[in-house]
Structure 1
Amino acid sequence: MFSLSARTSALRSASRTFSTTPSRSADVAKLMLIGRLGKDPELRSTKNDKEYVQYTVATTNFPPPTPSADGSRGEAKTTWHTVLSFNPGVNNYLQRLKKGSQVFVEANFELREPDPNADPDTPQGQRQIFLRHETIRVLKTPRDVSESSREEESES
């Protein structure tokens, strides 16, 4: 069926496909979050006057922790994730999002080690997680407060 040279050629190309040579361009650290915005996104500036948007996503562990020996179940814990966006085109969109929106976020993840000369009680003296915005999709917008009060009045 296959000639010896065709098989040898196929084996060579297969071995190149699965090379053991490290490829730094393929390394990635991503975090995907589904949660709610904890507050409206804020426009901020770096020390070098570069604008960025900071927003916070709250996620809750579900299901809650397993019951203890006495049958009581601990509360589900909420984690707050701070995400930074340095993309001016996306920043205008992010600023229009509202607190309470349910979002799906993809962010690049970087763990920053503490500064050995910094006070351990300051953020610089502690390990920090740095999340750089990549994409966001709004899954559900929050109910408007005036809209919900109108519904309550109509139900009465």
Structure 2
Amino acid sequence: MLAFTRNAALRASSRAFSTTASRSADMAKLLLIGRLGKDPEVRYTKNDKEYIAYTVATTNTTPTAEGVQPTTTWHHVLSFNPASNNYLRTLKRGSLVYAEANFELRQPDPNADPDTPEGQRQLFLRHEHIRVLRSPPKDKEEQDAD
């Protein structure tokens, strides 16, 4: 009886880490905390489908011989969700945001010129969620209007 119980427990625990492919649960997610580099832009695909493109700037510090050097990385995110797009249109450059995006690394086309985007590896970020942590300071003109 004890051997049966032990074998049943081993089988149950081995199933928790199955090697069976489960594509619906696979994901690659990027979490960004940074500032919007410019106001989100409305763009259109070749099939006239509207989407929003926005850029989040993050700053990393790199130790160097001269001290700590800050470097800025620009992350270009695309949103194809109409409900999210309406909200994204209201955001302003300089807003501190927390953004979640799924990402896909696309390999270069072996027949393309290496100096073109098609000839280079590309990271595509697809918008999932965004939250404004802090709005940008108001411009002098906006303060005068209040």
What is the TM-score with the length of structure 1 in the denominator?
Answer: 0.82
Name the counterpart of 2:31.
32
Distance 2:80 2:21 in 1: 29
Q: Does 1:75 align with 2:86?
A: no
Structure 2 residues without counterparts, runs of 5 or longer: none
Q: Does 1:66 align with 2:69?
A: no
Q: CA deviation at 1:119?
A: 2.1
Classify the secondary structure of the residue corresponding to 2:15: helix
Distance 1:15 1:132 in 2: 34
Q: AA paired with 1:66?
A: P
Q: Does 1:113 align with 2:107?
A: yes
Name the counterpart of 2:40.
41
Distance 1:67 1:116 in 2: 36
Instruction: Tell me whether 42-51 or 20-29 shows the greater mean CA deviation.
Output: 20-29
Instruction: Tell me whether 104-113 or 21-30 shows the greater mean CA deviation.
Output: 21-30
Greater gyration radius: 1
Classify the secondary structure of the residue corresponding to 1:92: helix
Distance 2:141 2:48 in 1: 39
Name the counterpart of 1:14.
13
Q: CA deviation at 1:146?
A: 2.4
Identity %: 65
Name the counterpart of 1:135.
129
Cα-Cα RMSD:
2.1
Superimposed CA distance per residue, residues 62-98 of structure 1 (whole angstroms, 9 cap, x where no aligned partner)? xx32241xxx225311010000000001000001000
CA contact (8 A) 2:63 2:69 kept: no
Instruction: Tell me whether 134-143 or 108-117 shows the greater mean CA deviation.
Output: 108-117
- 2:89 corresponds, among 86, 89, 95, to 95
Q: AA paired with 2:62?
A: P
Name the counterpart of 1:154.
none
Distance 2:43 2:70 in 1: 32
Classify the secondary structure of the residue corresponding to 2:70: coil
